Amino acid sequence: MVSPPKDSLFVLVKSLSKSEKRQFKLYVGRLGVNTEAKFLALFNLLDKMKVYDEGQILASGIVKKTQLSNLKAHLYKQVLISLRLNPVNQSIRIQIREQLDFATILYQKGLYKQSLKLLDKAKVMAIENEEKNVAYEIVELEKIIETQYITRSIPARADELAEQAKTLSRQNVMTSKLSNLSLQLYSMMLKVGYVRNDADLQSVKDYFEAHLPSYNRNELGFREKLWLYKAYLWYSLLVQDFLSAYKYASKWVDMFYEREEMIYRNPVFYLKGNHYLLESLFFIKYSSQFRETLERMEVTVSGQAFPKNDNVASLTFLYVNNNKLNLHFLEGTFDKGLYLVNIIEYGIKKHQERIDQHHIMLLYYKIACLYFGVGDNKNCIAYLKKIIHNKSLKMREDLMCFARVLSLVAHYEAGMDYHLEVQLKSTYKFLLKMNDLHAVQKEMIKFLRRLGDIYPTELKNEFRKLYNELKKYENHPYEKRAFLYLDILSWLESHLQSRPVGEIIREKALVATR
């Protein structure tokens, strides 16, 4: 069942912390006439509500139905103004734009000299912080003012401003082209997933080469390099070149550690870069470097200087816990990772308004894998049901597919034969609608379908046949992806050797680090 859309104003009010609510009331109360204002009464009512109820608002007598829309719009604007005044939200970009606004007001009053002085300071701040779009706006306003504020230095200033405008324009065009390419590749990843054959590979390669602008690396600033590395990263992930993905994610993260002030000015890019670096390390199974990278990120985000706004807090929760789960998968320490389940469940409730459904379902899938690793198949199935029964999950059919395949395996492991038959029929119906069915998935389905006809004495031999069949796909350029979602080979080895799957994975991790 799809939940109804939530009212934007209600969601905004509910997102406010205690200190932000207190500041809003102080902001409203700065003028005595506002203490009885209708928008404040509406704010207090929304703050008390558990669920948005328009009928309750109208029954309160605060406002008539015909006036409600306007009152809500006014309150929404006042809350945003209050948040903008909060020192916590005073990012570099807001500070620069504030100076640009002040300079514009001074210019409109004819105070050209004062306006130019403010603009010059704002421009230096913008260029130092890689805010080149607003720097270009500042230069354009300087050019307008210089045509009206005549001084003897105008010839030199004209040349200087023209050159600055040309440089900033060129840099902004490069940033725009690279960010467009990065966005399109990301969209391709969500809609299509990894390349599945040579034709897909050639198509992605042609697209990338056709849209990658010519560049001189020595002329690129921090922001341009950031988008360049993002574009190469997405290309590498699409074509399943995980070593290349590691290379460009490393370059991305290294830039931040080389210019540490950028970590605090661009915390979202810092977090995302580390997440993709960790994801690449997970794909190439480099567990020691994975642990070191995760610990370094955790130390940074827990520091006093790291920004503490809602968006950053949600992303920190998502990326840190996602990768803590991955670390336990890499090292085969499933039992030691069970403590994360309660932490993640609490975090999902706390941050659910700021985390999309796909990422929540991905966390559920990884929790299911954690339970599967310790042999708790019933809890594994319970978490997989959250994904399988989710009707609003539009993207990433591969996640749904692997959830269903793992569910089949878990039902078999739990001895739930009747449920296994039901699951098989349901999974077949789903897979028939999919275009992205890989050889590994097909072999698993065929094997599970035959299970009912296999005598117990023949079971180990059938496991060995399946293992030998799947083993040849382990390093296949287009089939290896299946093993990233579900370590079927280790599961089969555990049956063949009569040992826990976690023990098998731990041994592999130890061999990989030698």
Tally of CB atoms within 10 A around 316: 21
Q: Which of 89, 113, 146 corresponds to the end of one domain?
A: 89
- Positions in the chain whose pLDDT score sits under 50: 1-2, 4
What digits encode the pLDDT tens for the residues 342-360? 999 999 999 988 888 888 9
Burial of 361 (0-12, 13-18, 19+ CB in 10 A): buried
- 323: phi then psi, degrees, rounded to nearest 5: -80, -25
Residue 149 resides in a domain: no
Q: Are 242 and 280 in contact (CB under 8 A)?
A: yes
Question: What confidence score (pLDDT) does residue 1 get?
Answer: 38
Residues 406-409: contacts with CB within 8 Å, 24+ apart?
406/365, 406/368, 406/369, 406/372, 406/380, 406/486, 407/381, 408/444, 408/445, 408/448, 409/372, 409/444, 409/448, 409/486, 409/488, 409/491
Residue 197 resides in a domain: no
Q: In whole angstroms, how large is the CA radius of gyration of the chain?
A: 28
In order, the DSSP letters of 401-414 are: HHHHHHHHHHHHHT
Question: What confidence score (pLDDT) does residue 343 get?
Answer: 97
Task: Classify 475 as helix, strand or coil.
Answer: coil
What digits encode the pLDDT tens for the residues 47-91? 998 888 888 888 888 888 888 899 999 999 999 988 888 766 668
Task: Classify 164 as helix, strand or coil.
Answer: helix
Q: Are 319 and 275 in contact (CB under 8 A)?
A: yes
CA separation for the pair 59, 126 (Å, rounded) = 50
CA separation for the pair 347, 365 (Å, rounded) = 16
- For the chain, the maximum distance between any two Cα atoms, rounded to a whole number of angstroms, is 99
Integer distance in angstroms from the first to the last C-alpha of the chain? 50
**Distance from the Cα of residue 301 to its chain's centroid:** 16
Question: What confidence score (pLDDT) does residue 316 get?
Answer: 96
Residue 133 resides in a domain: no
Q: Are 278 and 298 in contact (CB under 8 A)?
A: no
Instruction: Give the H/E segment covering residue 173.
Output: helix 154-192
Question: What confidence score (pLDDT) does residue 409 get?
Answer: 82
Distances (CA, A) of 482 to 229, 309, 361: 26, 37, 18
Nearest residue to 356 via CA among 384, 396, 320? 396
Distances (CA, A) of 128 to 32, 175, 179, 205, 372: 42, 16, 20, 35, 50
The two three-digit tokens of residue 469, written as one number: 């069949």
Q: Which of 63, 89, 115 corresponds to the end of one domain?
A: 89
Give pTM, 2 decimals: 0.83
Residues of the domain holding 63: 8-89
Question: What confidence score (pLDDT) does residue 153 get?
Answer: 53
Question: What confidence score (pLDDT) does residue 514 get?
Answer: 54
Tally of CB atoms within 10 A around 285: 15
Distances (CA, A) of 499 to 256, 374, 502: 44, 12, 9
3-state secondary structure 243-283: HHHHHHHHHHHHHHHHCCHHHHHCHHHHHHHHHHHHHHHHH
Sign of the torsion angle spanned by Cα atoms 272, 277, 283, 289: negative
Q: Are 400 and 387 in contact (CB under 8 A)?
A: yes
Q: Which of 55, 72, 89 corresponds to the end of one domain?
A: 89
- 172-189 in b/e form (b: 16+ CB < 10 A) is bebbebbbebbeebbebb
Task: Give the alpha-carbon dihedral of 122, 124, 125, 126, to 10 degrees.
Answer: 80
**Residue linked to tokens 């990012």:** 91
CA separation for the pair 485, 399 (Å, rounded) = 8
What digits encode the pLDDT tens for the residues 475-503? 888 777 777 766 788 888 888 888 887 78
Residue 377 resides in a domain: no
Burial of 118 (0-12, 13-18, 19+ CB in 10 A): buried
Question: What confidence score (pLDDT) does residue 445 get?
Answer: 74
Question: What confidence score (pLDDT) does residue 2 get?
Answer: 44
Residue 78 resides in a domain: yes
Tally of CB atoms within 10 A around 75: 23
- Structurally, the chain folds into a number of domains equal to 2
- 392-417 in b/e form (b: 16+ CB < 10 A) is ebeebbbbbbbbbbbbbbbbbbbebe
Residue 445 resides in a domain: yes
Nearest residue to 463 via CA among 508, 437, 497, 425? 497
Residue 447 resides in a domain: yes
The two three-digit tokens of residue 427, written as one number: 């999974």
Residue 188 resides in a domain: no
